A and B are shown apart, each in its own frame.
Chain A
Amino acid sequence: MKNVAIAALALAATALPVVAQSIKPEDQIHLRQSTMALIGYNFGSLAAMAQDKKPFNKEEAQRNADILPMLAALPKPFFGEGTETGGNTKAKPEIWKNLPDFTSKLEKMQHEVGKLPEAVRSGDMAAFKKQVSDTAKACKSCHDDYRAK
């Protein structure tokens, strides 16, 4: 059953054109912003712990880290055609001019986020801090090019 769920999720994430065509642009913008907000909330909590801005709480960190790979898998299909403008999107039009590069940066983020659960589980603070730092770099490299300030 779990395998079926993972397969469905994977399919949803990869079936970009199909999804993009079936959801209207306004909703796609809303969906990607919502997932980004949740990613920001959970990663922000980990970053605050990694930077000693709030005390490290393993239970909370594990909860944040475990949900992030699932959240990170979500926004990709919501950058479809016709979503370059609209709502209060901060996505830059450059995304659709350099789609392969944008996609590779998004996948890099997913790859780094995928290592967070184990980094927390290991209990090794140095490994945890390094993984948070590497993930933040992946976020930034994409935001710098494709997200308006």
Chain B
Amino acid sequence: MTGAAVRIRAWDLPTRIFHWALAALVVCSFTTGTIGGDWMPWHLRSGYTILALVVFRVAWGVVGSDTARFGRFLRGPRAVVEYARLTLAGRHPAGVGHNPLGGWIVVAMLAALAFQAATGLFSDDEIATQGPLAVKVSNAMVSRMSHLHDIGRWIVAGLALLHVAAIAIYRWAWGVRLAGAMVTGRMEAPAGAPPPRIRSAALAAIVLAAAAAAVYALVEIYPMR
């Protein structure tokens, strides 16, 4: 908190593209799933893409840039409580990348989306649309999965609202522009903070291609066997 703040590159390009693509697809999935009918083929495509993105993000959380790594931004309960205490007291500690509280929202959101994608694969709306793996399990299981998929959307919607509300509070209460940082990649950091190591976008493209291939095999090839 000492010295002049400097702007440094915190978010790599793959993480930023991932983030905004995911945001758009979550809105798309929620809307198409709720309307149903003719939109269901798009609901499935959107869901498959989200699944591929989640797989990508988990892998990028291990091999990606410093600020994308779970090992770096996931902090223990003590750090989270300390951060929350200081922030609520109006002394928001500056840092590079996810703060100790926000880091856990990343995990919660990825888990909720993985849950939605997984249950969706086994769901059946009992009108005209079936998840690709519904044929592989019993009807009792399909029924349970459809129910979980139906209520799970509210968990995703709740987390998304919490996330947007937090961004708004940082912006309007503390003048921290988190959404802008996710666009430009640059955020204010305390002077002297070491710049995070950024991995190449080419590596991200390879990881994404592998994730997409795995999802394709799961939803298009495996069900036909």
* Chain A residues within 8 Å of B, Cβ to Cβ: 40, 43-44, 47-48, 50-51, 132-133, 136-137, 139-140, 143, 149
CB A109 to nearest CB in B, in angstroms, measures 11
A132 to B143, CA, bound (A): 24
CB B39 to nearest CB in A, in angstroms, measures 10
Considering the complex, give the chain A residue whose CB is closest to the CB of B140: A88
Q: For B38, what are the chain A residues with a Cβ–Cβ distance below 8 Å?
A: 133, 136
- Give the size range of B's interface with the partner: 10 to 19
Instruction: Decide if A137 touches B37 in the complex (CB within 8 Å).
Output: yes
Instruction: Decide if A149 touches B36 in the complex (CB within 8 Å).
Output: no
Instruction: Decide if B126 touches A47 in the complex (CB within 8 Å).
Output: no
CB A104 to nearest CB in B, in angstroms, measures 19
A137 to B39, CA, bound (A): 11
Q: For A51, what are the chain B residues with a Cβ–Cβ distance below 8 Å?
A: 41, 128
Could you give, for residues 124-160 of chain B, a 1 whenever the CB lies within 8 Å of some chain A CB and a 0 otherwise? 0111110000000000000100110010000000000
Instruction: Decide if A149 touches B146 in the complex (CB within 8 Å).
Output: yes
Considering the complex, give the chain A residue whose CB is closest to the CB of B41: A51
Number of A-B contacts (CB under 8 A): 33
CB B151 to nearest CB in A, in angstroms, measures 8
Instruction: Decide if B128 touches A47 in the complex (CB within 8 Å).
Output: yes
Partner of A143, one of B126, B129, B147: B126
Instruction: Decide if A139 touches B127 in the complex (CB within 8 Å).
Output: yes
Interface centre among B126, B128, B146 (most CB of A within 10 A): B128
Q: For B126, what are the chain A residues with a Cβ–Cβ distance below 8 Å?
A: 40, 143
Q: Nearest 4 CB-CB pairs, A to B? A: A47-B128, A149-B147, A139-B127, A149-B150
